[in-house]
């Protein structure tokens, strides 16, 4: 069956080398954590905070790159600098949380760019911004697996408390769930996730994997378990598809993955609108806006 | 009965926020099975009293002795209606305080939650999304959650707001049933006619204005002091006057 063999070749070719198969494993591991964690980020309205954290860790990454340390160590350093800065800025009473966070994030990204673009610095700032999933080593893959396991175990253990806080913050303490502890845990887990995912997706694209699939899943289901499973599936499928696109169209891997996730989200929004319009008024004959 | 532990004894309680008093000189006691209506204007201390009873807020003076657990039934408007949880998920939140943080609800906890939902008459909607239930059903889900907490004293914060007559009647029946089971039920409300059906009325206007059986407590003078305004007497039944209260700043304009 030459056709079946052709299709199999088409599907399997990209993963025949160690580099690409490690990249696929890395992306799938990240997707398993991104699904459930992203759902909490979306439900708690933490997308902006998560974006701030991922962008603001750039100086840590640059310092690691300059010093020749592993990127994960740099990411950890970046989170240690960025998390308290973002958290403290959010509490400034004078200019409002979002403005203060924007100032902190811009300052840290600027500082990172300044370091990265200095004449003495080696080239490679692009990797930090957009990731290099094909450069993942076996050791980094193991570390990713360990951190993903920690993130998933923490989410499983804290599921009830997170659910209670998200449902009714003001009254959650009466049910033994502290809103502050829930926020702190999520920030910590976003930090851990970012440390893992930044190698593959870079500081600018890591959020696509975290928030995109969860936002899409939120559109189509009103059950949390289903939402988490669907988000992980979209992240994994989007990641694998992005790597295919990257392999066959010779595009950047991280950007291809982010693009696929965004396309899936837009398709879901459009599909839902069309189906709502259809249910409301029968077959769609014109381009009437859906309500 | 001397020597018998009451369900709840509150003595000389005062509480406030950042040094501003919100509640003072509150003293009352209740047996098991007592239904207490808590009347008072907005800012009169109803929610503050509930927070003290739930131990979320420390009383700056006085003591609270509760023989059992206290469960809260907050206003449904405070919960998110766009949240992906079922009625069963919400009822299960009631088991959290007694589970270790890493443990998830097991079969026993699920059974307790299903029983509580059946008690409040919601056995057929346990898997419905909370936000898609009617206002009365949502209120009863939150009562089921307090039952799962094994609460001996239930604190209902304005549970009738936004309910239609039929839902209100069902809620009144449920409150009676819970009291018959031996639970204490305190209901913060603005509707003084409702409180006439219950065993005790507590009138608060930062300070305690009165506490006792409704037929004794609900006098024109007490209600005026509670709401800080003057009363409009409306046509009533045989049991007494029916009052509407005008706020203190209200002026009657000639037409």
By CA distance, what is A45's nearest residue in B?
B83
- Residue B24 pairs in a beta bridge with B207
Instruction: Domain ranges for chain B, please list them.
Output: 1-68+152-219, 84-149
Specify the 3-state DSSP secondary structure of B129. strand
Q: What distance lies between CA B37 and its chain's CA centroid? A: 7
Encoding tokens for residue A148?
Answer: 């993903």
Instruction: Test B96 with A161 for CB contact under 8 angstroms.
Output: yes
pLDDT at A282: 62
Specify the 3-state DSSP secondary structure of B101. coil
d(CA A199, CA A197): 5
Sign (positive/negative) of CA torsion B174, B180, B183, B187? positive
Give the confidence band of B192 by pLDDT, cuts at 50, 70, 90: confident
Specify the 3-state DSSP secondary structure of B72. strand
Ranking A239-248, B102-111, B136-145 by mean pLDDT, the lowest is: B102-111
- Structure ipTM over 0.90, yes or no: no
Contacts of B165 (CB under 8 A, 6+ apart): none
Instruction: Test B102 with A173 for CB contact under 8 angstroms.
Output: no
pLDDT at A98: 79
Check CB contact of A162 with chain B, cutoff 8 Å: no
> How far away is chain A from the Cα of B127, in angstroms, using its nearest Cα?
10
User: What is the phi-psi region of residue B218: left when phi exceeds 0, alpha when psi lies from -120 to 50, beta otherwise?
Assistant: beta
Provide, as residue numbers in chain B, all residues whose Cβ is less than 8 Å from the Cβ of A230: none
d(CA B174, CA B191): 17
Least CB–CB distance from B93: residue in A43, A175, A221? A175
Encoding tokens for residue B45?
Answer: 């201390």
CB–CB of A113/A7 below 8 Å? no
> How far away is chain A from the Cα of B93, in angstroms, using its nearest Cα?
6
In chain B the first and final C-alpha atoms are separated, in Å, by: 57
In a domain, A207, yes or no: yes
Q: What is the pLDDT of residues A82-110, one digit of tens each?
A: 878 777 777 777 777 778 888 888 888 88
Check CB contact of A246 with chain B, cutoff 8 Å: no
d(CA A165, CA B97): 13
By CA distance, what is B90's nearest residue in A?
A164
State the DSSP code for B58.
Answer: -
CATH code for position A251: 1.10.3470.10
Whether residue B20 has pLDDT greater than 60:
yes
* Residues of the domain holding A238: 21-281
In a domain, A243, yes or no: yes
Provide, as residue numbers in chain B, all residues whose Cβ is less than 8 Å from the Cβ of A170: 74, 78
Helix (H) or strand (E) holding B25: strand B20-30
Interface of B with A (CB under 8 A): 54, 56, 71-72, 74, 78-80, 83-86, 89-90, 92-94, 96-97, 99, 101-102, 104-105, 129, 131-132, 145, 149
In a domain, A286, yes or no: no
Contacts of A112 (CB under 8 A, 6+ apart): A58, A59, A61, A62, A128
Report how far apart, in Å, the C-alpha atoms of B159 and of each of A258, B73, B139, B155, B189 are. 47, 8, 7, 10, 8
Provide, as residue numbers in chain A, all residues whose Cβ is less than 8 Å from the Cβ of B105: 160
d(CA B176, CA B187): 12
Other beta carbons within 10 angstroms of residue B211's beta carbon come to 20
For chains A and B, CB pairs below 8 A equal 66
d(CA B247, CA B40): 12
State the DSSP code for B2.
Answer: T
**A150, A140, A218: which is closest to A185 by C-alpha?**
A150
Tell me which fold the domain B1-68+152-219 belongs to: Rossmann fold (3.40.50)
d(CA B191, CA B16): 25
Sign (positive/negative) of CA torsion B169, B175, B179, B181? positive
By CA distance, what is B81's nearest residue in A?
A167
Provide, as residue numbers in chain A, all residues whose Cβ is less than 8 Å from the Cβ of B79: 167-168, 171
> How far away is chain A from the Cα of B9, in angstroms, using its nearest Cα?
20
Report how far apart, in Å, the C-alpha atoms of A138 and of each of A18, A19, A124, A144, B140 are. 9, 9, 21, 10, 54
Specify the 3-state DSSP secondary structure of A217. helix
* pTM for the predicted model, two decimal places: 0.82
Q: What is the pLDDT of residues B29-60, one digit of tens each?
A: 999 999 999 999 888 899 999 999 998 899 99
pLDDT at B255: 41
Instruction: Test A168 with B129 for CB contact under 8 angstroms.
Output: no
Instruction: Test A163 with B89 for CB contact under 8 angstroms.
Output: yes
Instruction: Test B101 with A221 for CB contact under 8 angstroms.
Output: no
Instruction: Test A176 with B96 for CB contact under 8 angstroms.
Output: yes
Instruction: Test A157 with B56 for CB contact under 8 angstroms.
Output: no
d(CA A163, CA A225): 11
Give the confidence band of B123 by pLDDT, cuts at 50, 70, 90: very high
d(CA B12, CA B255): 47
Instruction: Test B84 with A222 for CB contact under 8 angstroms.
Output: yes
- Residue B153 pairs in a beta bridge with B70, B184
pLDDT of chain A, 291 residues: tens digit per residue? 677 888 888 888 888 887 888 999 999 999 999 999 999 999 998 888 888 888 888 888 888 888 888 777 888 888 888 878 777 777 777 777 778 888 888 888 888 888 877 776 666 677 777 878 888 888 889 989 999 999 999 999 999 999 999 999 988 988 889 998 998 899 889 988 988 888 888 888 889 999 999 999 999 998 899 999 999 999 999 999 999 999 999 988 888 999 999 999 999 999 999 988 888 776 555 555 544
Check CB contact of A199 with chain B, cutoff 8 Å: no
**B228, B229, B199: which is closest to B216 by C-alpha?**
B199
Least CB–CB distance from A175: residue in B83, B89, B94? B94
Encoding tokens for residue B243?
Answer: 């009052």
In a domain, A1, yes or no: no
């Amino acid at each position: 069956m030459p056709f079946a063999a052709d299709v199999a070749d088409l599907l399997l070719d990209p993963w025949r080398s160690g580099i690409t198969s490690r990249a696929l494993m890395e992306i799938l591991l990240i997707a398993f954590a991104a699904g459930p964690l992203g759902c909490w980020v979306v439900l708690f309205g933490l997308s902006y905070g998560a974006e701030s954290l991922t962008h603001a860790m750039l100086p840590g990454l640059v310092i690691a790159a300059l010093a020749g340390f592993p990127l994960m160590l740099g990411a950890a350093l970046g989170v240690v600098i960025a998390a308290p800065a973002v958290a403290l800025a959010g509490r400034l009473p004078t200019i409002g949380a979002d403005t203060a966070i924007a100032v902190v994030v811009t300052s840290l990204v600027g500082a990172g760019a300044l370091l990265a673009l200095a004449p003495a610095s080696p080239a490679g700032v692009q990797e930090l911004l957009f990731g290099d999933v094909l450069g993942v080593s076996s050791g980094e893959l193991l570390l990713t697996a360990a951190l993903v396991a920690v993130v998933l175990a923490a989410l499983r253990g804290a599921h009830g408390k997170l659910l209670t806080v998200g449902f009714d913050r003001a009254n959650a303490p009466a049910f033994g769930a502290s809103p502050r502890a829930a926020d702190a845990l999520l920030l910590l887990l976003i930090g851990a996730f970012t440390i893992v995912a930044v190698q593959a997706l870079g500081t600018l694209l890591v959020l696509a994997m975290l928030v995109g699939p969860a936002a899409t899943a939120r559109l189509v289901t009103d059950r949390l378990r289903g939402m988490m499973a669907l988000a992980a599936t979209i992240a994994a499928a989007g990641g694998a598809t992005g790597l295919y696109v990257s392999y066959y169209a010779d595009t950047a891997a991280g950007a291809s993955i982010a693009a696929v996730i965004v396309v899936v989200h837009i398709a879901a929004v459009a599909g839902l609108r069309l189906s709502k319009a259809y249910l409301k008024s029968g077959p769609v004959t014109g381009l009437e806006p859906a309500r | 009965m001397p020597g018998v532990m009451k369900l709840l004894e509150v003595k000389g309680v005062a509480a406030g926020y950042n040094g501003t008093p919100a509640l003072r000189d509150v003293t009352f006691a209740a047996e098991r099975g007592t239904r207490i209506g808590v009347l008072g204007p907005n800012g009169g201390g109803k929610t503050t009293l509930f927070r003290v009873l739930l131990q979320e807020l420390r009383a700056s003076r006085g003591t609270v002795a509760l023989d059992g657990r206290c469960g809260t039934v907050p206003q449904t408007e405070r919960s998110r209606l766009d949240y992906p949880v079922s009625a069963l998920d919400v009822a299960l939140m009631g088991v959290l305080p007694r589970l270790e943080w890493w443990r998830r609800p097991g079969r026993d906890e699920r059974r307790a939650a299903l029983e509580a939902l059946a008690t409040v008459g919601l056995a057929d909607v346990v898997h419905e999304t909370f936000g898609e239930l009617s206002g009365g059903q949502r209120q009863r889900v939150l009562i089921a959650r307090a039952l799962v907490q094994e609460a001996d004293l239930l604190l209902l914060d304005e549970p009738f707001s936004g309910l239609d007559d039929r839902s209100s009647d069902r809620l009144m029946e449920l409150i009676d049933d819970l009291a018959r089971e031996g639970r204490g039920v305190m209901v913060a409300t603005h509707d003084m006619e409702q409180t006439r059906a219950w065993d005790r009325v507590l009138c608060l206007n930062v300070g305690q204005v009165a506490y006792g059986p409704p037929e004794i407590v609900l006098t024109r003078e007490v209600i005026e002091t509670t709401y800080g305004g003057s009363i409009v007497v409306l046509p009533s039944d045989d049991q007494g006057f029916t009052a509407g209260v005008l706020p203190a700043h209200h002026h009657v304009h000639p037409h």
